């Protein structure tokens, strides 16, 4: 196999190249080691598709950044929330919020819920009125 240049290093060992191609394309190591011309074209095509997908992802992120910057220029209050950014991609914002709430509910453990309940109960027990505190502590009736 010919050497493969990865930008910061060169793979020139046949096994290294085959392992790299196996990782990048999903073909097995044995298939790559025993490839013929047709298999070589398939691998080349798969790598080109992966590169195209990466370039499209970069372009999409750039587009979203441009949209956010343009909308932000008219919005002087605060940065965009993740829900708004996902809505720019055409995702349903109500569905995003409900999915996030469901995720948050599933990730809270029972201990956290019990702590919150105990905190609420303690808060209800505290006397909020200054008059009531003075009456209880010093016996002063105002």
Q: What is the pLDDT of residues 83-93, one digit of tens each?
A: 666 676 666 76
Residues 93, 129 within the same domain:
no
Residues 68, 83 within the same domain:
no
* Residue 135: pLDDT over 70: yes
Residues 55, 6 within the same domain:
yes
Question: φ and ψ at 11, to 5 degrees?
Answer: -95, 115
What average pLDDT is seen over the chain?
73
Tokens of 21: 């191609």
Residues 49, 83 within the same domain:
no
Does the pTM surpass 0.75? The reply is: no
Q: Look at 76-80, 99-103, 115-119 and tell me which has the smallest mean pLDDT.
A: 76-80
pLDDT top residue among 127 and 59: 59
| Residues 25, 19: Cα–Cα separation, whole Å | 10
Residues 61, 25 within the same domain:
yes
pLDDT top residue among 21 and 105: 21
Domain of residue 120: give its range: 110-142
Confidence of residue 71 (pLDDT cuts 50, 70, 90): confident
Residues 11, 68 within the same domain:
yes
State the pLDDT at residue 52: 80
Residues 29, 51 within the same domain:
yes
Please tell me the total count of domains within the chain.
3
| Residues 107, 113: Cα–Cα separation, whole Å | 11
Residues 37, 83 within the same domain:
no
Residues 30, 71 within the same domain:
yes
| Residues 52, 60: Cα–Cα separation, whole Å | 12
Residues 45, 99 within the same domain:
no
pLDDT digits (tens, 9 = 90+) for 91-114: 676 776 776 676 666 666 666 778
Residues 63, 92 within the same domain:
no
Residues 91, 123 within the same domain:
no
| Residues 65, 62: Cα–Cα separation, whole Å | 5
């Amino acid at each position: 196999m010919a050497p493969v240049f990865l930008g910061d290093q060169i793979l020139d060992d046949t096994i290294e190249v085959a392992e790299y191609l196996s990782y990048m394309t999903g073909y097995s190591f044995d298939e790559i080691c025993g490839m013929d011309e047709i298999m070589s074209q398939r691998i080349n095509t798969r790598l080109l598709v992966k590169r195209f997908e990466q370039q499209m992802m970069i372009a999409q992120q750039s587009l979203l950044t441009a949209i956010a910057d343009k909308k932000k220029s008219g919005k002087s209050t605060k940065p965009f929330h993740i829900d708004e950014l996902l809505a720019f991609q055409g995702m349903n914002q109500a569905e995003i919020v409900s999915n996030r709430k469901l995720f948050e509910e599933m990730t809270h453990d029972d201990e956290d819920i019990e702590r919150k309940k105990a905190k609420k109960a303690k808060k209800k027990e505290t006397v909020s009125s200054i008059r009531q505190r003075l009456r209880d502590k010093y016996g002063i009736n105002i």
